[in-house]
Amino acid sequence: MSGSDLFTGTLDILILRTLAPTPLHGYAIGRAIRDGSEGVLSVEEGALYPALHRLEARGLLEAEWGKTDTGRRAKFYQVTKDGHEHLGREAARWVEFSGAVAAILGPDER
Amino acid sequence: MSRWPFRRSFRPGQVRANPGDDIHEEIALYLELRAKELEDEGISPEEARRLAEERFGDPGKIERKLRQQARRRQVQEEMTMTMGGLKQDLAYAFRTMRRSPGFTLVAVATLAFALGGNTAIFSVVDAALLRALPFQQSEGLVFLNGYHLVDGEISIRGASFPEFRDWRDRSRAVSPMAAVGGMSFALTGDGEAEQLATEVVTGAYFEVVGYSPVRGRTFLPEEHDEPEAHRVGVISHGLWERRFGLDPAVLGRDIVIDDRPLTIVGIMPVGFGGTNLNTDLWVPEGLMGANALEQRGSRFLTVIGRLTAGSSVATAQGELDVIARDLQEAFPREHEDRFAQIVSFRDGYLGTTGGLLWILMGAGGVLLLIASANVANLLLVRSHGRTREIVLRRALGAEKGRIVSQLLTESFVLAVVGGVAGLGVAAWALLVLAPMIPAGVLPGYVEPRLSASAFAFSLAVLTMVGGLTGLVPAVASTRLDIATRLREGAKAVGGGRRLRAQHVFVVAQVALALVLMVGAGLLTRSFRAQLSVDTGSEIEGVQALRVRLPGGRYDSNETIWAFATELERKFSSLPGVSSAALASDLPFRGGFSASYIFREGEGEDARIRYHRHSVTGDYFATLGMKLAEGRLFNADDIDGAPGVIIITSAMAARVYPGERAVGKRMALRPDGTNEVEIVGVVEDVLYRNLTTSLMVEANSPDVFFSFWQIPSRNVEVAVLTTGDPSVCCDPRAACHAKGSGGGVGIGVDSGSHRCPSKGKPACDSEIRSARERVQVPFRSGHVLHRGADPDHRAAEGL
């Protein structure tokens, strides 16, 4: 698995996870990921959008234009049924994978 | 309802604003909110804005990327939609075809036959007119045809060596230039005796045609220039394979040609057959002997050449005109009324057949148009019947585009099915019809093969005409006022317009068919006219066989007569043969020679050019020629007896107007010696050309000599059969029956190398009904190697 694939897959899961409970617009998603990861996953923030659009194209997300709390027009993303299923599968895989990596690296390395 | 192909029409239309603006807005919002977030952390507004953009990456770049993504997705979506639609259309088209098998059958059959017929015709035309000739860079190759003007008509006669040398040395526009003499030499020795199509060639020959030997060499300058000093030859790949089993050791070996050794020095590549297209042996002109090389009036050469860069046929013609005029002045006797013309190789090989092919192509084109109109009409009629369906579908919400594409798909499916069937018909037509083209109608290089471009062309025309017409009613019905039509029960929708269109097609079809029918009628008429031309001879049931006796063994009149006596006896005694005769040549079989004869006591100013034939006594009876006056040859007209000739009525009327020709004497030499007596006059006979009038023939009349007084080593055996002509199929048997001494060494011109592959008896191809030859029009441009008897030729220069 190449680094970019790893990253792409990770970002997808993070987005789906973030959106799972409630629809959000792009900025809110970015902010939630930043806050949630405590800045560890600080990447080029703009990379969020290609990921969002790609997920939308794959039918894992649905988008709709709506109004923000302050009345601004914004595109809200929402996880579809396919998206929820995908998230379930990938999250399980990810936990398994990161567990395996952690086991190999061992407590000494921490 | 889901069966109907306009399901998508019911999908709620996505109101899609410009997606690019959405993307911009989305990003702008992010940056704005992000900057605000940073401001809240106590950063100045400008700095916050800058930082937001920096963290985001390059907003412009990301925006571009997103747009690209969006575009790709859109294209994908459209593709999927189209494919889905196409699948539906195809399925629906097939269903429709199954529902109306009658229509489908007629449409497909029309397409198949029109396509098949046209592809076959165009394939032949393509092979003859468009495909490359079997020479290197054949575009620049030309024939230089010397001709005489006889009463304003062009009579092409070959060139002599001196004349060729004049042309070659003075021409700037044609270079290199070479002369070719068509000959026939007997190959004997190991295996069966065989007659080899041979070309006697001058120095630049191989350079002109652009071929070099695959093994060995061509000829050295001294082999061309020194008369009878070098007996060398180059053989064809076909002969090498057939006769010598591709043995490389054949180079340098001596073979027996006309009973004398000849050394093979080179082998030509596969597929090269000389200007004759079927030549097996090439020899240098030095082999001919000084006499033939110097006689200005001994004309039997074909001259070929290559246009130099920047020269056209027209410039070369202008140059040649000047040369011909100069030669007329320099040699007023030999070059009286003598001119020369330049024709391209293709025109030379095609002769008048070229025009016929264009006519054929025109007829094919008309047929194609008729078929197109037919298909269009069928589609029109059917779409009329489907108006109700279309109106209904429109009413249910189908888009115009979908209906049009549906009808287009139906036309397309029809075209494909008809096309596949047409391909089959074309292949069948070529297979069945090509062998029916009489030998000699098409030049030898033409091998009619299924031409992909011809097929594609026919298919394109049919589909375009048919398909586009099918669209007319579709488009018309999409403009209908649906509500009204539905109420009217959609009975007469667009009736007026459609009927008009139908009428137009019917009128066009009938008109075109009429043109075609008149054309076909005229062709049939002239063909019938040709068949019924009174040639003066009756050759139904006559079989012919050509035999050539090699000069080495048959070097005296006595040996020829001995052989001829045996040959005539053998053939006369064959079962089913009612009479057999020998002649130096037969009507419409070529190989004739011309000379001059003189009225008694009038010297050489009264010379008459005539065609000479040596015939045996039964010749006239066998060929059904009628005696007008006097007598035919009898058993007394032999060597030692007074020389006798028989002339035609036309000649008698011309040379002895108002007098009785029988009993008159003529001289074979200008000095009045070598006298012969006219003992008989036969009814006029056409010997060379069906389309020439008897008047023109009378200018070079036919004169018959007794074979037993003036023999010929070229012998044609004419056999009148009763019943099945094939009873005397194997002439070789007859030839060989002469005995071991005589059988070997006789070349039978049977084209044997072509026959075994077809599994026929080797002799079949040559023993064909003489009638077949009659049906082949004589083509002036194709007369490359008339006559191959230099002995007779030499007499022409008297």
Beta-bridged to residue B154, according to DSSP, are B149
- C-beta atoms of B33 and A49 within 8 A: no
Residues 6+ apart with CB under 8 A from B348: B142, B143, B145, B781, B782, B784
**Distance between CA atoms of residues B761 and B767, nearest Å:** 10
Note the pLDDT of residue B18.
Answer: 56
Scanning every residue of chain B, which has its alpha carbon at the shortest distance from the alpha carbon of A50? B66
> Are A53 and B69 a contacting pair at CB < 8 A?
yes
> In B, which residues are within 8 Å of A50 by CB distance?
62, 65-66, 69
Number of CB atoms found within 10 A of residue B573's CB: 10
Q: Which residue has the higher pLDDT, B759 or B603?
A: B603
Contact present, B131 and B389 (Cβ < 8 Å): no
In chain B, domain spans: 7-97, 100-130+353-509, 138-349, 542-797
Q: Which residue has the higher pLDDT, B479 or B403?
A: B403
Residue of B nearest to A26 (CA): B30
Question: How confident is the model at residue B723, as a pLDDT?
Answer: 64
pLDDT of amino acid B699: 64
Helix, strand or coil for residue B783? coil
Q: How far apart are CA B569 and CA A60, in angstroms?
A: 102
> 3-class SS at B339?
strand
Q: Within an 8 Å CB–CB cutoff, is residue B313 touching chain A?
A: no
Amino acid found at B797: G
CA neighbours within 13 Å on the CB side: how many for B32? Answer: 10
What tens digit of pLDDT does each residue of B312-334 get? 999 999 999 999 999 999 998 88
Confidence of residue B271 (pLDDT cuts 50, 70, 90): confident
Q: Which tens digit of pLDDT belongs to each residue from B637-693? A: 988 899 999 999 888 888 888 889 999 999 888 777 788 999 999 988 887 766 555
Instruction: Using an 8 Å CB-CB cutoff, list chain B residues near A30.
Output: 30, 34
Q: Is B256 helix (H, G, I), strand (E, B) or coil?
A: strand
A57 CB within 8 Å of a chain B CB: yes
Q: Report the relative pairing of strands B644-648 and B675-682 from DSSP bridges.
A: parallel
Higher pLDDT, B750 or B69: B69
Query: Around B485, how many Cα atoms within 13 Å sit in the side-chain half-sphere?
Result: 22
Burial class (CB in 10 A: 0-12, 13-18, 19+), B750: buried
- How far, in Å, CA of B225 to CA of B286, rounded? 6
Fill in the DSSP letter of residue B386: T
Chain-centre distance for alpha carbon A27: 13
Beta bridge partners of B657: none
CB-CB contact of B720 with B578 (8 Å):
yes
Higher-pLDDT residue of B603 and B741 is B603
Per-residue pLDDT of B742-766, as tens digits, reads 333 333 443 322 222 222 222 333 3
B residues 13-72 lying closer than 8 A (beta carbon) to A: 22-23, 25-27, 29-30, 33-34, 37, 55-59, 62, 65-66, 69-70
Q: Which of B42, B38, B40 is nearest to B30 (CA)?
A: B38
A72 touches chain B (CB under 8 A): yes
Q: Is A49 on the interface with B (CB under 8 A)?
A: yes
- DSSP one-letter string for B433-449: HGGGSPTTSS-TT----
Choose between B37 and B385: higher pLDDT: B37
Query: Over 60: is that where the pLDDT of B515 sits?
Result: yes
Q: With contact defined as beta carbons under 8 Å apart, do B81 and B8 qualify?
A: yes
Say what the pLDDT of residue B474 is: 62
Contact between B25 and A50 using a beta-carbon 8 Å cutoff? no
Residue-by-residue DSSP string for B554-608: --SHHHHHHHHHHHHHHHHTSTTEEEEEEES--TTS---EEEEEEETTSGGGGEE
Please check whether residue B465 is in contact with residue B378, taking contact to mean a CB–CB distance below 8 angstroms.
Answer: no
Computed from CA positions of residues B581, B586, B587, B592, in that sequence, does the dihedral angle turn out positive or negative?
A: negative
On whether the CB atoms of residues B29 and A27 are closer than 8 A, the answer is yes
| Chain A residues touching B66 at Cβ < 8 A | 49-50, 53
Q: Which residue has the higher pLDDT, B725 or B619?
A: B619
CA proximity to B627, closest of B685, B585, B576: B685
* Contact present, B337 and B91 (Cβ < 8 Å): no
* B77 contacts chain A (CB < 8 A): no
Indicate which of B14, B15, B16, B30 best probes the interface with A, i.e. most A CBs within 10 Å of its own CB: B30
Q: How far apart are CA B363 and CA B519, in angstroms?
A: 8
Q: Measured between CB atoms, which of A30, A50, A57 is closest to B65?
A: A50
Nearest 5°: CA angle at A77, between A74 and A78?
A: 145
| CB contact A6 to B (< 8 Å) | no
Are the CB atoms for B126 and B457 separated by under 8 Å? no
Whether the CB of A27 is below 8 Å from some CB of chain B: the reply is: yes
- Does the distance separating the beta carbons of A27 and B33 come in below 8 Å? yes
Pull the structure tokens for residue B506: 């019917």
With CB atoms and an 8 Å threshold, state whether A49 touches B62.
yes
Give B590's contacts (C-beta < 8 A, 6+ positions apart).
Answer: B786, B787
**Residue % of chain B over a pLDDT of 90:** 20
Instruction: State the ipTM, two decimals.
Output: 0.85
Gap between the Cα atoms of B773 and B217, Å rounded = 38
* Cβ–Cβ gap A50/B37 under 8 Å: no
Confidence of residue B469 (pLDDT cuts 50, 70, 90): low
Question: Per-residue confidence at B551, pLDDT binned at 50, 70, 90?
Answer: confident
Residues 6+ away with beta carbon under 8 Å from B274: B180, B197, B199, B209, B236, B282
CB atoms within 10 A of CB B234: 25
CA distance B593 to B601: 25
Q: pLDDT at residue B523 above 60?
A: yes
Question: Residues B513, B505: contact at Cβ < 8 Å?
Answer: no
* pLDDT over threshold 70, residue B495: no
Cα–Cα distance for residue pair B121/B361, rounded to 1 Å? 7
**Is residue A45 very low, low, confident or very high in pLDDT (cuts 50, 70, 90)?**
confident
Q: Are A29 and A48 in contact (CB under 8 A)?
A: yes
Let me know the angle formed at the C-alpha of B46 by B44 and B50, rounded to the nearest 5 degrees: 115
For residue B28, what are its two tokens? 């702008």
Q: Which domains does chain A have, with CATH numbers?
A: 3-109 (1.10.10.10)
Residue A92, chain B, CB below 8 Å: the answer is no
Cα B646–chain centre separation: 39
Size of interface A-B (CB pairs under 8 A): 53
Contact status, residue A24 vs residue A68, Cβ threshold 8 Å: no
Instruction: List the single residue in A25, A27, A54 with the smallest CB-CB distance to B34.
Output: A27
Cβ count within 10 A of residue B627: 14
At A10-29, the pLDDT tens digits run 788 888 988 988 898 888 88
Query: Residue B775 pLDDT > 70, yes or no?
Result: no
What pLDDT does B415 receive? Answer: 78
Beta bridge partners of B200: B181, B283
Q: Cα separation of B704 and B585, whole Å?
A: 11
- The answer to whether the beta carbons of residues B123 and B422 sit under 8 Å apart is no
pLDDT digit string (tens) for B85-121? 778 888 888 888 888 888 888 888 888 888 888 888 8
Residue B214: pLDDT above 90? yes
Phi, psi of B45 (to 5 degrees): -55, -45
Q: Quick one: DSSP state of residue B723? A: S
The CA-based angle B352-B195-B205, given to 5 degrees, is: 60
Position B681 scores a pLDDT of 94
The pLDDT tens digits of the residues spanning A76-107 come to 999 999 999 999 988 888 888 888 888 888 76
Q: Kindly state the average pLDDT of the residues B502-511.
A: 79
Instruction: Note the pLDDT of residue B142.
Output: 93
Worst-scoring range by mean pLDDT, A70-79, B59-68, B454-463, B709-718?
A: B454-463
Cα→Cα distances B211→A57, B137, B200, B224, B272, Å: 66, 11, 16, 18, 8
Per the prediction, chain B carries an average pLDDT of 77
User: Which of A24, A27, A43, A76 is the best mutation test for B, with the most CBs of B within 10 A?
Assistant: A27
- Please report which residue ranges of B386-451 form alpha helices under DSSP H: 387-395, 400-433
Burial B767-776 (b: 16+ CB within 10 A, else e): bebbeebbee
